[in-house]
Every structure is written in C-alpha cells, then in structure tokens.
C-alpha cells in the first residue's frame, strides 16, 4: 500500500479518457513504473510497468492519528478485469475511502484475521530461541495431534465453546495430556494477543482458554509418585545386572539395562542419561557433565565407584567418543526403555516408567540419611527455600558430594546382596559424621 503526505510534491498527473483501446495503446516503461489517471472518475488509474497494466485507486484518507495520508490500492490487472469491472470496483473502494476507510489498515486487519494457529505457532517458536528441544517437541506434538483440526484455520475461529468441547474430548483420553495441551495453547494465544494488533487493539479480544479457569474445569492430576519399593530395590538391581551380563542378550538390551542402572545410581532424567556422550564423562576423575540441563544450570556430577564400573565395561578399550548408550543402528542414542522398564515393573510389583527411577534415587538417598539439600543438588533441583545454602553453596561442580553418591551406590549393591542371600545382615547407613 503506497503512502504519502500532503507535504510531499507530486509529479504532474497524466489524465486520459479511459477506454479499452486507449489503455492498451499506453506504452509500457522498460523499467520503473508510471501512472495514468481517468478523466471521468477521480482517483481511478492504471499503473504501467514492464510487466503490464494494473488498475489502481488512490486518494487522501485521514489516519487513526488524524493525519491525512495518501493511500493507493491495487484493483486488478487489465485483461483479467474488464474496464467496466475495474471501474465498478474502483467506485466502491473510493467511496469507502471517502467515508474514512483506510485500505492499508484493512489490509493489515485482513492479514491478521487470516493468521492460522500453525502460522502463529511458527512465529512463537521462532521468537523463543532459548526454548529447549523437548518443549518445542511437546508444542509440535499437540499442534499436530491435539489441535490438528484447528492448525490450518484462523486462530480467531477458536472460541470458548470450542475450547471447552475439545478439552472435554482430550480429558476422556488423558487428564494430564489435556491439561498440557491447553496450557500450550494458552501460551500461544497469549503470544498472539501481545504481538498481533488491529486498529491498536489485540487480535484476540480475550484468550478463549480462559474459560477453563473461569469454570474451574482444569483436571486435578495427582503428581506421579511411582518408584521401586524399598524392599524390592535389591531384586530389581540384581535383575538389571543379570540382563547386563547374560551372554545371550543383544547389544541394545545390555545398553538399556546399563542405562536404567545409571538412572538408579545417579537420579538422572531419562533424556540426560540417553543423550550422554563420552566427551562429557571422565572415568579417571569419576564425574559426568550436563551442559544444558532442564534448569539451564550446567553442572558436573560425581560418579560412584559402581557407576564407573558399569561405564568402564561399556567403554571398553577404544570407546572415546559418541553416545554412551547408542541406538541399535549406531547412529543417535537409545530412545525407548519401555521393554526394560516392564521387566523392572514385574520384579517391583508396580508399574514403573523411566522417570520413576529418579524418585527411587531420592528414596535411596533418604534411606542413606543424606541431607535433603545435598540430594537436591545431586538431582539438579534448585535450592530455593534456604537462602544461605542457595547463595553460598557450589552448584556447578558437585564432586565434593562423592561420599554421598558412593554411599548410595554401596547401599544399592548391598540391597542386591540381601536379595540374593537371606544370610546377609542389613546395611546400616551412616552420615558424614559417622552417625547412624
């Protein structure tokens, strides 16, 4: 949309009595553009370029700020539109501009109203440059599955009623996933309200997801609390070690058993363990490193003697690069531990997922009487409650917690011995002061 103000100088206008013949006789410039205006309908013209002749309208319009601006709008190409059709459209547009309708603002409004949920989401992800890959994957998942029917339609078509209906449908499948899906949608639509405006007003008058809060229908999902029961940890550990050592096991089966063992020994999240590379492990100095964990604070963790033994067996003589737990194909890292977790679940007597090994680690630390703040550090949790500890404690290099991580490893190994033989006396945990 071309814009100018009354202070700008205008070139002398070429006026012509428009007929089909007179328009087609107009010479086209080799470069640039020129305009010819109709002698009968003021503001109706033809733009001439090397590519052909295009009908336009142009007139002064008062903007929202009260300043008059000269607006120009394309009507259509000569040859596609007849002169009579173009003149009729021009009269309608000029009349609207005379009444104060700004075609530039209308164009922006039309473009904004046509933005699809997919287009807005793409911009949202582009602007969130520091968003973790896992978060982006969740957004893409819900856009392609939870909101597939809405993805390629204008976002303004998403109404409160549609939100309520779809939330109910997703809740019937999974309460937790329904909550997550609509939290994602709420964030995307809040972004749209802030970024896209028409006539200095938000594109969306309100976020339609607000109906879920106003009607108080968000699902009350009980946090997962699954873990290996304390009295079954030894048996589960022995089963994993048997999988690791059995000669008939495939390479990928041993890798999965090693990875799940690593989770129990370290309290790591599944993706942190699965994506671990050898250049972020030192078996000689007994540590492993996370450059970009969930809380965005890089940290170096201590490795227990038991964990080092497992990793040393994996490394062999020449393994110095690549993933510690590689995929079956050798490219990438292992993805799905469900088969191994089913075996752990059978021994434990409860249904377990990989993340439940993290809660198991926390329970073991409790059995070992390790102070809570130390356990939180080993699990890479934030120390937000105790100002003194959070302000003065080293949180990036945790190798000073090697005694605690070794105590956990020793407790696990001892539970394995108890499970294998009833003659072994119970393990008695002590803290760093030698107290039971």
- pLDDT one-digit tens code per residue, 323-349: 999 988 767 899 889 999 999 999 999
pLDDT tier, 68 (very low <50, low <70, confident <90, very high otherwise): confident
What is d(CA 25, CA 81) in angstroms, rounded to the nearest whole number? 17
Mean pLDDT of the 212-226 span: 89
Return the higher-pLDDT residue of 104 and 206.
Answer: 206
Considering 121-130, 249-258, 286-295, 360-369, the range whose residues carry the highest mean pLDDT is 360-369
Does 432 fall in a domain?
no
Residues 198 and 326 in one domain: no
Domain that includes residue 380, residue range: 230-420
Residue 318 scores a pLDDT above 50: no
Q: Rounded to whole angstroms, what are the CA distances from 298 to 153, 266, 286, 385?
A: 41, 16, 17, 20
Q: What is the pLDDT of residues 164-197, one digit of tens each?
A: 999 999 999 999 999 999 999 999 999 998 888 7
pLDDT of res. 386: 58
What is d(CA 60, CA 89) in angstroms, rounded to the nearest whole number? 18
What is d(CA 343, CA 341) in angstroms, rounded to the nearest whole number? 5
Return the higher-pLDDT residue of 222 and 432.
Answer: 222
pLDDT of res. 120: 93
Residue 405 scores a pLDDT above 90: yes
pLDDT of res. 317: 47
Residues 161 and 235 in one domain: no
pLDDT of res. 293: 77
> Could you identify the residue written with the tokens 């497992």?
310
What is d(CA 27, CA 46) in angstroms, rounded to the nearest whole number? 12
pLDDT of res. 8: 47
Distance of CA 121 to the CA centre of its chain: 10
**Ranges 52-66, 156-170, 342-356, 386-400: which has the least confidence:** 386-400
Residues 79 and 134 in one domain: no
Does 146 fall in a domain?
yes
Mean pLDDT of the 269-288 span: 94
Does 239 fall in a domain?
yes
> How many structural domains is the chain composed of?
3
Residues 156 and 197 in one domain: yes
Structure tokens belonging to residue 353 = 């997922």
Does 425 fall in a domain?
no
What is d(CA 53, CA 78) in angstroms, rounded to the nearest whole number? 6
**Ranges 101-110, 199-208, 233-242: which has the least confidence:** 101-110
pLDDT of res. 406: 97
Mean pLDDT of the 185-210 span: 86
What is d(CA 152, CA 165) in angstroms, rounded to the nearest whole number? 19
């Amino acid at each position: 949309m071309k814009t100018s103000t009354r202070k700008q100088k205008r070139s002398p206008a070429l006026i012509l009595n428009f007929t089909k013949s007179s328009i087609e006789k107009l010479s086209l410039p080799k470069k640039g553009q020129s305009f010819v205006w109709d002698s009968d309908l003021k503001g109706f013209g033809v733009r001439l370029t090397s590519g052909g002749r295009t009908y336009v309208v142009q007139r002064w319009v008062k903007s929202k700020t009260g300043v008059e601006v000269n607006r120009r709008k394309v009507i259509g190409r000569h040859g596609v539109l007849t002169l009579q059709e173009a003149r009729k459209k021009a009269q309608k547009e000029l009349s609207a501009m005379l009444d104060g309708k700004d075609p530039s603002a209308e164009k922006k409004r039309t473009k904004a109203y046509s933005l699809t949920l997919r287009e807005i989401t793409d911009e949202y992800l582009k602007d969130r440059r520091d968003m973790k890959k896992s978060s982006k994957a969740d957004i893409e998942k819900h856009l392609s599955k939870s909101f597939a029917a809405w993805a390629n339609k204008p976002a303004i078509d998403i109404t409160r009623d549609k939100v309520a209906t779809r939330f109910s449908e997703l809740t019937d499948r999974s309460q937790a996933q329904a909550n997550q899906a609509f939290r994602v949608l709420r964030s995307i639509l809040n972004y749209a309200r802030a970024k896209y405006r028409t006539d200095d007003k938000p594109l969306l008058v309100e976020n339609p997801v607000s109906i879920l809060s106003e009607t108080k229908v968000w699902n009350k999902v009980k946090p997962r609390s699954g873990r290996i029961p304390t009295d079954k940890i030894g048996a589960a550990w022995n089963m994993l070690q048997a999988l690791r050592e059995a000669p008939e096991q495939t390479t990928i089966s041993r890798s999965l058993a090693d990875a799940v063992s690593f989770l129990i020994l370290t309290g790591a999240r599944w993706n942190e363990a699965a994506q671990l590379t050898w250049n972020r492990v030192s078996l000689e100095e007994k540590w492993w490193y996370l450059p970009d964990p969930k809380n965005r604070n890089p940290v170096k963790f201590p490795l227990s003697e038991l964990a080092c033994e497992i990793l040393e067996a994996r490394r062999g003589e020449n393994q110095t690069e690549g993933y510690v737990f590689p995929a079956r194909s050798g490219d990438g890292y292992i993805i799905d531990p469900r088969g191994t977790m089913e075996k752990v679940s059978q021994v434990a007597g409860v249904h377990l997922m990989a993340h439940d090994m993290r809660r198991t680690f926390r329970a073991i630390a409790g059995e070992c009487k390790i102070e809570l703040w130390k356990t939180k550090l080993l699990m890479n949790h934030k120390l937000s409650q105790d100002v003194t500890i959070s302000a003065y404690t080293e949180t990036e290099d945790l190798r000073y917690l090697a005694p605690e991580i070794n105590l956990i490893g020793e407790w696990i190994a001892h539970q394995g011995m108890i499970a294998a033989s009833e003659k072994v006396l119970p393990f008695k945990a002590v803290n760093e002061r030698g107290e039971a």
